[in-house]
Chain A
């Protein structure tokens, strides 16, 4: 009877020991996972701020480029620049109708 008791005790102890081990192992894994994820999230805030800053800068650059594009495509400016480059103005153009493609030969 004492022997049976000792065996039973041994069996219970193993099961309990196993469960405890799993539990403690899981706890350590969870803690580790939590620490890693919190660390990762903490830096995200700084990354987000940095990206937001870059977005704001890009937005400003885009606005500036839009203004520059509008300036460059202004017909009055084009005319002024063409005069400075001594280009001839086209005054009385005649259009050729009915020809889609044509080839030049030497």
Chain B
């Protein structure tokens, strides 16, 4: 009995012990299972998420900004003048949480930067602010003066920004770089139209960093180098451009004109040696300009009816079509009637029997109508299109207008063709007019105008752009005869003030009416004077066109645009050392005219 009781007690004890151990094992098992489950959840189910989170913490990625390409002008011989550069501008910034003496700092900044204290005080509102920009493009002398004060929390850093050392020089050609709301990019001009090439390609670098944010150099690095932008060399010459701008400014001032534009072309290549419109602006301070129309390039964007300066085109067409010669005569009665309209000469006179050369010398509307009639409407329209009117020239600048020759679509409406023969009823840009005179100058070929001469890649390799021939428009003979007629205009006609002593210069004036904004017809108070010409006649080197808008003291182009043309052409012939083509005789000097 004793033994069975002991046995029973031992058995009970054993059962009691087994139960506790089992319970303990169960607890361990449950805990362990939870841990396993949690590990599974973190590493398998959500593994990708946490890996990514850790990756972002450990990895740093930065964009590498490429250096923007620079733009140069030719400058006399082989030199280049930088029109657009990248310059390091100091930016002044503060770290408000580091500043000990706020009022003292504000006082110093206000004195040195000449700024209101209240506007500066707003930068220090938040004591924990890590960064606030105080001023950009600060002069280095001012930065040095501020540094001398040993202010805590005030720093400077260099920021690469665009700089235009020429100031106003060729401002409408170059445009400027600005923020369009999305990014910094070229606005207007070359900066806009060649933005992709100038900008280059942004690079990136991705590397692991430690807890302190420092690069870990022994780990893998993904580097995509930035590709710097390419530099551009323009066809424009800095000296010629400056001279053209100076002449235009003087012309505007002298005649109280609203504006003036001019283009200088190198004959036979389409290269633009100068293109200017006044008033213009300084691209370094473009934000100060109130009238945004200053940013546009009127030589490309402004359409106008050119007037009598178009007459040589009509004559060239008639000559090339074999319908007239420079000696062909007609009888000028002073008036042409068509479709209920009366077209008279500008001076309302009649001149009797006149040659085609005299038609240009006296700028007779009736004479050009005669020439156009010989050609016929269909052929005339085809020639106008071949000259490139009504379509863009394709120059590498933005916002070019195409012109309007829609009035010539109706071949049966003679009145439109008559008026078109002397440059009214069809509109064109100054560049289109210049290119058409280049056709006359170079022997009859229409060239594509170009303003970019070459580009230089980041490795220094230069790629030049060749002149592009679009098509033949006139025969060599027709263009040569037209040039002689233009010479007679300057020698005997309304272009005397465009003459340059020692050279055979040819050209034509044009004083056009301006379409009224408020009603049909033309405005009585506005006019645009144009002179287009070339020199030397026998072997032309330059085509120059000048447009003066709304002069207040004199109306006629022979008093506004023609003298400006003469000044520019004289400069060109001397600057490029063109040999004189005739002896300088006292009576050919302008002051005797």
Contact = CB atoms under 8 A, between A and B. Distances in A.
Interface of A: 60, 63-64, 66-67, 70-71, 73-77, 93, 95, 97
Contacts of B150: none
Q: Is the interface of B mostly helix, strand, loop or mixed?
A: mixed
Given A66-B82, A66-B85, A95-B574, A75 B242 contact: yes
Q: What are the 6 tightest A-B residue pairs by CB atom distance, in nearest-first order?
A: A70-B165, A75-B242, A76-B167, A70-B82, A71-B165, A67-B87
A74 B88 contact: no
A74 B574 CA distance: 21
Contact of A70 (B81, B502, B580): B81
A60 B158 CA distance: 12
Given A70-B81, A70-B82, A97-B580, A76 B168 contact: yes
B169 interface: yes
23 contacts: A60-B88, A63-B88, A64-B88, A67-B85, A67-B163, A67-B165, A70-B82, A70-B166, A73-B81, A74-B165, A74-B166, A74-B167, A75-B166, A75-B169, A75-B239, A75-B242, A76-B166, A76-B167, A76-B169, A76-B242, A77-B167, A97-B502, A97-B580
Nearest to B79: A73
Interface in B229-273: 238-239, 242
A11 B231 CA distance: 81
B285 to A, nearest CB: 13
A105 to B, nearest CB: 27
A69 to B, nearest CB: 9
Nearest to B163: A67
Nearest to B239: A75
Interface size class for chain B?
10 to 19
A70 B85 contact: yes
A66 B238 CA distance: 17
Nearest to B243: A75
Nearest to A77: B167
B169 A74 contact: yes
Contacts of B85: 66-67, 70
A99 B242 CA distance: 28
Contacts of B165: 67, 70-71, 73-74
Contacts of A77: 167
Contacts of B502: 97
Contacts of B574: 93, 95
A39 B242 CA distance: 61
B185 to A, nearest CB: 22
Interface string B516-535: 00000000000000000000
Nearest to B584: A97
Contacts of B169: 74-76
A64 B140 CA distance: 12
Interface in B127-176: 163, 165-169
A97 to B, nearest CB: 7
Given A66-B85, A73-B165, A75-B169, 20 more contacts: A60-B88, A66-B82, A67-B85, A67-B87, A67-B163, A70-B85, A70-B165, A70-B166, A71-B165, A73-B81, A74-B165, A74-B166, A74-B169, A75-B166, A75-B238, A76-B167, A76-B168, A76-B169, A93-B574, A97-B502
Contacts of A73: 81, 165
The residue among A63, A74, A93 with the most chain B CB atoms within 10 A of its own CB is A74
A70 to B, nearest CB: 4
A75 B169 CA distance: 8
A98 B374 CA distance: 49
Nearest to B571: A93
Of the candidates A66, A67, A70, A95, the one having the most CB atoms from chain B within 10 angstroms of its own CB is A70
B210 to A, nearest CB: 23
B278 to A, nearest CB: 13
A71 B169 CA distance: 12
Nearest to A94: B501
A67 B238 CA distance: 17
Nearest to B158: A60
Contacts of A75: 166, 169, 238-239, 242
Contacts of B81: 70, 73
A63 to B, nearest CB: 7
Interface string B30-59: 000000000000000000000000000000
Nearest to B83: A70
A8 B200 CA distance: 84
Contacts of A64: 88
A74 B165 CA distance: 6
A64 B82 CA distance: 13
B165 to A, nearest CB: 4
Contacts of B242: 75-76
Interface string B567-582: 0000000100000100
A95 B165 CA distance: 30
B589 to A, nearest CB: 10
A66 B169 CA distance: 18
Interface string B373-403: 0000000000000000000000000000000
A58 B244 CA distance: 38
B393 to A, nearest CB: 28
A66 B167 CA distance: 16
Contacts of B82: 66, 70
A75 B242 CA distance: 7
A68 to B, nearest CB: 9
Contacts of B168: 76
A71 to B, nearest CB: 5
Which one of A66, A75, A95 has the greatest number of beta carbons of chain B within 10 Å?
A75
